[in-house]
Amino acid sequence: MSQIKRINHVAIVVRDIEESLKFWESAMGLELHHVEDVPSQASKVAFIPIGDSEIELVQPTTEDSGMAAYLEKRGEGMHHLCVEVDDIDAKMQELKDAGVRLINNAPQVLPGRKMAFIHPKSASGVLVELYEITAEE
């Protein structure tokens, strides 16, 4: 049986990273680690470490992306909760066997990680990302 290791990050969709950072840095006293463009997700992401986890502020970079549609429909706020697993393929099979609805049939493989999403209808309305850190960085 695969194991959930930790909460890797909480993703928050925002209209403007710089504006949102005012709260997280000034009011909350957290420090921005870095910002990176993620063309495969049509977004820009700010990484704010908290202990062994992170808050990720996600700003859409195109008006026709899924994240932009989410922002338009629901406004700013929590987008998803990401849990890190030791074996994403095994965890996905366990979830399928348990009747859990997945968005992805197979994990998306990116440099240094694999990821897949659980449909919010199976998780009390929360979009959950499964995340496995792999050796290749």
Per-residue pLDDT tens over the stretch 47-89:
999 999 999 999 999 999 989 999 999 999 999 999 999 999 9
Domain that holds residue 86: 4-133
CATH number at residue 34: 3.10.180.10
Return mean pLDDT, the chain: 95
The confidence band for 136, taking pLDDT boundaries of 50, 70 and 90, is low
The dihedral through the CA atoms of 65, 66, 71, 76 has a sign that is: negative
Tell me how many domains the chain contains.
1
Report the C-alpha gap between 17 and 50 in whole angstroms.
Answer: 18
